[in-house]
C-alpha cells in the first residue's frame, strides 16, 4: 500500500477547502485502490467522519511529523497555502511540512496550489529554497506561476492546471431541491444566489455590503428570489445577515451547514450567481449557472477572465456600482442561453485542466510502486 498525506486548510469550515479535499480523495480512490489517505485537519474527527479517511490534528507537531515519516508522498494543497497575506505563521507552517518531508526523503507534490502574496525578503528566500526541492508542482492559475518565478523558483516541474473543485461530485437536482425546501426557500420564482464574505481590506470599508444589498433589492423587485449562500460556515452567516438587514425587500439565508457536494447541487438550482467567493463561482461554472463576480483577490479576477464572465467591481480599489451590477444581471437574464453556452465551453476546458492534477499525481504513485517492487 502507498501511504499518502494531504496537508491543507482543512477542518475549519471553509467549503472551498473542504470541496478540494472531497474532490482529491474521491479522485485518488478512483485512480488507485492501493492508497491509504490521511489528512491534516483542525478537526480530525470531523474529517475522518466526513471523508472516510485517517486524520491527524494539524497542530500536534509530534503526530504530524510521525504522519510525514510514515507516508510515501505528501500532497500540499490545494488552495492558496504558500502566502503570508493572512499571516507569516501560516506560510512557515506549510513550508515546514514540505521541509520535514524532504528531510525524510519523501516525495512531495504541490497539488493545485495558489501562490502568494509572499512579502518580505526572508519569506521569499524561504519559499524559493523549499519549493525548489519539490518533486512536482501543479498550480491552479497562471498568476501563481508568475508569482513563483518572481520569487526565484526555478523548479522545472511546474504545470498550470485548475482548481480540483471543478471535479467535485454533486448531489442530484432532486436532492438539492429537497434541501432548499427544508430551508424554506420557495421555488415559485427564478432564484439568484448571492455569496459574500467579510473583507476588512476593502478600500471603502463596509460600503460594498450596502451596494450588494441595493442590487439584491432591485433583483427582488424584478420578480426574483434572492438567497444568501454561506461558503464558510458559520463565518459567512454574519455577513449575509448584514446584507439582508440593509435590504428593504425580503430575501433568504441558507443557515445550515452543508457538505461541498450538497452546496454544489444547491448552486445548480439557481439561475444566476453573484459572488465574492471563488468556489461559489467555480460551483456555478460546473453547474452552468452564469455569474457576476465581485473581486477582492487576484484569484477571483483570474477565474472570471478564464470563464469569460462579467466582473461587478473590485472592492480593493473602488466603490461598487450597484446600478452597474444590476445591469449585468439583467443582461445575463436577457441573453441567458448565450451566457450558458459560453460558460459550458469554458468550464469544460477548466475540467480538463483539473484532470492534469491527477494525471501527474498518478505518475508519482507509479514511481513509488516501482520503488516498492524493486525493494521486495
Given 125, 160, 195, which residue is the final one in a domain? 160
Q: Give yes or no for residue 375 having a pLDDT over 90.
A: no
Same domain, 274 and 343: yes
Cell of 46: 470531523
According to DSSP, the residues that pair with 108 across neighbouring strands are 74
- E-only strand ranges, the chain: 2-7, 35-41, 54-57, 73-82, 107-115, 136-139, 158-160, 191-195, 225-228, 252-253, 272-275, 291-295, 311-314
Three-state DSSP at 97 gives helix
Domain CATH number, residue 301: 3.40.50.2000
Identify whether 242 is part of a domain: yes
Same domain, 51 and 152: yes
Same domain, 46 and 193: no
- Indicate the Cα dihedral angle 344, 347, 352, 353, nearest 10°: 160
Q: What is the CA radius of gyration of the chain?
A: 21
Among candidate residues 274, 24, 297, 307, the one with its CA nearest the CA of residue 169: 24
Tell me how far apart the alpha carbons of residues 130 and 98 are, in angstroms, rounded to a whole number: 7
Given 160, 194, 218, which residue is the final one in a domain? 160
Same domain, 188 and 108: no
Identify whether 354 is part of a domain: no
Cell of 175: 436532492
Question: What is the number of domains present in the chain?
Answer: 2
- What tens digit of pLDDT does each residue of 218-227 get? 999 999 999 9
Please answer whether residues 132 and 154 qualify as being in contact, where contact means their C-beta atoms are separated by less than 8 angstroms: yes
Same domain, 135 and 256: no
Q: How many C-beta atoms lie closer than 10 Å to residue 237's C-beta?
A: 17
The rounded mean pLDDT for the chain is 96
- What tens digit of pLDDT does each residue of 290-302 get? 999 999 999 999 9
Same domain, 179 and 154: no
Same domain, 188 and 120: no
> Would you state the pLDDT for residue 15?
94
Tell me how far apart the alpha carbons of residues 343 and 237 are, in angstroms, rounded to a whole number: 28
296 to each of 121, 122, 139, 279, 318, how far by Cα in Å? 25, 26, 20, 13, 10
Identify whether 165 is part of a domain: no
Same domain, 151 and 239: no
DSSP character at residue 188? S
According to DSSP, the residues that pair with 82 across neighbouring strands are 115
In the structure, what pLDDT confidence band is assigned to residue 355 with cuts at 50, 70 and 90? very high
Which pTM was predicted?
A: 0.95
Please answer whether residues 53 and 11 qualify as being in contact, where contact means their C-beta atoms are separated by less than 8 angstroms: no
> Would you state the pLDDT for residue 321?
98
Same domain, 193 and 143: no
Alpha helices, H only, 113-172: 121-131, 142-151
Pairing of strands 54-57, 136-139: unpaired
Identify whether 76 is part of a domain: yes
- What tens digit of pLDDT does each residue of 103-151 get? 999 999 999 999 999 999 999 999 999 999 999 999 999 999 999 999 9
For residue 328, the enclosing domain spans: 173-349
Cell of 205: 470599508
Sheet holding 107-115, edge to edge: 54-57, 35-41, 2-7, 73-82, 107-115, 136-139, 158-160
Cell of 362: 498518478
Q: At what angle do helices 278-286 and 15-31 cross, to 10 degrees?
A: 50
Identify whether 127 is part of a domain: yes
Among candidate residues 130, 88, 100, the one with its CA nearest the CA of residue 40: 100
Our measurement of the distance from residue 122's CA atom to the centroid of its chain's CA atoms, rounded to an integer in Å, reads 28
Q: What percent of the chain has pLDDT over 90?
A: 97
Among candidate residues 59, 60, 40, the one with its CA nearest the CA of residue 51: 40
> Would you state the pLDDT for residue 232?
93
- What tens digit of pLDDT does each residue of 148-185 get? 999 999 999 999 999 999 999 999 999 999 999 999 99
Tell me how far apart the alpha carbons of residues 159 and 175 are, in angstroms, rounded to a whole number: 37
> Would you state the pLDDT for residue 78?
83
Give the chain's largest Cα–Cα span.
71
Same domain, 119 and 85: yes
Identify whether 156 is part of a domain: yes
Same domain, 80 and 123: yes
- What tens digit of pLDDT does each residue of 303-330 get? 999 999 999 999 999 999 999 999 999 9
Identify whether 88 is part of a domain: yes
Among candidate residues 199, 112, 202, the one with its CA nearest the CA of residue 163: 112
Same domain, 323 and 344: yes
- Counting runs of H as helices and runs of E as strands, what totals does the chain give? 14, 13
Identify whether 101 is part of a domain: yes
According to DSSP, the residues that pair with 225 across neighbouring strands are 191
Amino acid at each position: 500500500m502507498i501511504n499518502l498525506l494531504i496537508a491543507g486548510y482543512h477542518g475549519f469550515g471553509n467549503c472551498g477547502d473542504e470541496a478540494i479535499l472531497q474532490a482529491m480523495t474521491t479522485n485518488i480512490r478512483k485512480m488507485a485502490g492501493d492508497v491509504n489517505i490521511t489528512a491534516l485537519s483542525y478537526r480530525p474527527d470531523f474529517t475522518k467522519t466526513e471523508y472516510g479517511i485517517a486524520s491527524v490534528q494539524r497542530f500536534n507537531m509530534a503526530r504530524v511529523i510521525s504522519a510525514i515519516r510514515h507516508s510515501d508522498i505528501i500532497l500540499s494543497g490545494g488552495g492558496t497555502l504558500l502566502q503570508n497575506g493572512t499571516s507569516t505563521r501560516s506560510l512557515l507552517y506549510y513550508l515546514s511540512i514540505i521541509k520535514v518531508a524532504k528531510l525524510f526523503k519523501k516525495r512531495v507534490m504541490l497539488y493545485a496550489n495558489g501562490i502568494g502574496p509572499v512579502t518580505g525578503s526572508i519569506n521569499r528566500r524561504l519559499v524559493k529554497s523549499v519549493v525548489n526541492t519539490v518533486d512536482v508542482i501543479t498550480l491552479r492559475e497562471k498568476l501563481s506561476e508568475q508569482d513563483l518565478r518572481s520569487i526565484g523558483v526555478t523548479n522545472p516541474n511546474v504545470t498550470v492546471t485548475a482548481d480540483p473543485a471543478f471535479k467535485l461530485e454533486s448531489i442530484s437536482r432532486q436532492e438539492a431541491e429537497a434541501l432548499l425546501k427544508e430551508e424554506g426557500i420557495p421555488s415559485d420564482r427564478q432564484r439568484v444566489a448571492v455569496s459574500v464574505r467579510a473583507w476588512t481590506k476593502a478600500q471603502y470599508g463596509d460600503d460594498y455590503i450596502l451596494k450588494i444589498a441595493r442590487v439584491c433589492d432591485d433583483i427582488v423587485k424584478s420578480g426574483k428570489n434572492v438567497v444568501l449562500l454561506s461558503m464558510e460556515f458559520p463565518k459567512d452567516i454574519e455577513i449575509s445577515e448584514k446584507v439582508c438587514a440593509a435590504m428593504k425587500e425580503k430575501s433568504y439565508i441558507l443557515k445550515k451547514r452543508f457538505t461541498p457536494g450538497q452546496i454544489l447541487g444547491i448552486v445548480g438550482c439557481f439561475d444566476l450567481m453573484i459572488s465574492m467567493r471563488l468556489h461559489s463561482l467555480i460551483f456555478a461554472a460546473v453547474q452552468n449557472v452564469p455569474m457576476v463576480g465581485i473581486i477582492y483577490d487576484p484569484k477571483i479576477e483570474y477565474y472570471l477572465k478564464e470563464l469569460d464572465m462579467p466582473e461587478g467591481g473590485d472592492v480593493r480599489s473602488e466603490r461598487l456600482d450597484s446600478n452597474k451590477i444590476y445591469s449585468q444581471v439583467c443582461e445575463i437574464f436577457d441573453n441567458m442561453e448565450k451566457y450558458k453556452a459560453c460558460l459550458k465551453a469554458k468550464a469544460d476546458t477548466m475540467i480538463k485542466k483539473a484532470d492534469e492534477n491527477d494525471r501527474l499525481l498518478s505518475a508519482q504513485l507509479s514511481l513509488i510502486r516501482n520503488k516498492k517492487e524493486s525493494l521486495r
